[in-house]
Structure 1
Amino acid sequence: MAYLDNLLASGEQPIRREHQHWFVVVADARYAIFAFLAAILLLVLSGAVPNDSGGQGLRQGIGYAVLALVIGGLAYLGWQILRYLNEEFIVTTRRVLQTEGVINKRVVDSSLEKINDAVLSQSLWGRIFGFGDLDVLTASEAGISRLRMLRQADDFKRAMLEAKHELELELSGARPMPGPAIRTGPPVAVPTAAPAPEVQRPPAPPPMSADEVTRTLASLADLRDRGAISAEDYEAKKSDLLRRL
């Protein structure tokens, strides 16, 4: 996982990781199997060697050969297991990656937006034991093209196509692109708004006596009769004066 973390870009997240089927180890370790079978055969043949002086030397030679075959077979088998564990196929939110190599690493990737189609081929044994061959068709010749004997190939294909669809939505603007995780800091005090100043209403006019109201109404009536103010203005002023009594 640490090596994969170094390959991921900012905001890129792994979605699915898968290996090849363990049948691949059996196929690649065929020479180790042949070595073990040869060692067993030599042990069987050593039983037919006579116990005389010449036979003892032959038995010793057969013993060394059996030991060499067993050690060599175990070393070869262990190397193939390490290769199997270090070869991995990963679907991320941006790419499909293939990593391989125990000492010298090799990484091949294909961008999801360049993938045109994916063809899954499964034999009868593949459907029974859960593996298949996945052909990834891209717009360029470079990149991952064939995933041989992939374990749970149908689920891997589904995850890849779903990730491609999600990426297309992000690129079209229909969905925001995920960014790196935001680290939460100490809480920041939010300043509170100052209370709004109270609106001061204008003071009410002082009350008037009846004589003052009468004189004012007479003046307003005179102005109305001379056409200085309209009848509507006169009535409005009259109502205001009567309220101030």
Structure 2
Amino acid sequence: MSYVDRHLLSSERVLYRARLSRTVFALPLAMLAAAAALPLVGGAAVGLGALLALFALGYGLRAWMRYAGAEFAVTDRRVIMKLGLLSRVSLEIMLDRVESLIVEQGLLGRLFDFGSVSIVGTGGTKDPFPLIADPLGFRRAVQEQLARPARG
């Protein structure tokens, strides 16, 4: 069971879930490709390729832990963010405390559909949600909840 599901309030419903973008695996995959190509050069490059492969595996494990440990959700009452597997950082902001949302996408983010969403809460708090896949969908889910009529 996910962190979000375990920490729902009574009668609270999850309306939208987001994950980290798979681009967190780009660097380890590029390193692994370079490590595989180095032995083709021959000589000392074989040892360098093996060393690079070890670094790639280390970065790959770190990327997997980051990917597997991240959860983002919009419920009918709040926005929830959780990062981390071994150590955890969680943020929960009630929807009535959200003042605005900022989506930041560079060129690569637009091409591969990832970006950062920052939620500005009352009192000027700015909470970033980094490298979210489909950040515009996440923003839309929050905005839909903010626009719904108040519950009685």
Q: Could you state the TM-score of these two structures normalised by the residue count of structure 2?
A: 0.78
Q: How many residue pairs end up in the alignment?
A: 152
Unaligned runs of 5+ residues in structure 1 are 49-61, 174-245
In structure 2, the CA distance between the partners of 1:110 and 1:81, relative to structure 1 (3 Å rule), is same
Q: Does 1:161 align with 2:146?
A: no
Task: Report how far residue 19 of structure 1 moved.
Answer: 1.4
In structure 2, the CA distance between the partners of 1:40 and 1:125, relative to structure 1 (3 Å rule), is closer
Residue identity in the other structure for 1:156: F
- 2:3 is matched with 3
Which is richer in strand? Answer: 2
Equivalents in 1 of 2:14, 2:35: separation in Å? 45
Query: Aligned ranges for residues 127-146 of structure 1 at < 5 Å?
Result: 127-142=110-125, 145-146=127-128
Equivalents in 2 of 1:107, 1:135: separation in Å? 14
With CA pairs under 8 Å and 6+ residues apart, which has the higher RCO, 1 or 2?
2
Equivalents in 2 of 1:35, 1:153: separation in Å? 28
Query: Aligned ranges for residues 198-209 of structure 1 at < 5 Å?
Result: none
Equivalents in 1 of 2:64, 2:31: separation in Å? 17
- 1:21 is matched with 21
- 1:84 is matched with 67
Helix, strand or coil: the match of 1:46? Answer: coil
Instruction: Assess if the C-alpha contact under 8 Å between 2:24 and 2:63 holds in 1.
Output: no
Task: Report how far residue 101 of structure 1 moved.
Answer: 0.7
Greater C-alpha Rg: 1
Q: Could you state the TM-score of these two structures normalised by the residue count of structure 1?
A: 0.52
Instruction: Assess if the C-alpha contact under 8 Å between 1:43 and 1:66 holds in 2.
Output: no
Equivalents in 2 of 1:133, 1:109: separation in Å? 17
Unaligned runs of 5+ residues in structure 2 are none
Query: Aligned ranges for residues 67-82 of structure 1 at < 5 Å?
Result: 67-82=50-65
Equivalents in 1 of 2:138, 2:32: separation in Å? 36
Task: Report how far residue 113 of structure 1 moved.
Answer: 0.4
Equivalents in 2 of 1:74, 1:124: separation in Å? 28
Identity %: 27
Instruction: Assess if the C-alpha contact under 8 Å between 1:19 and 1:89 holds in 2.
Output: yes
Task: Report how far residue 43 of structure 1 moved.
Answer: 5.9
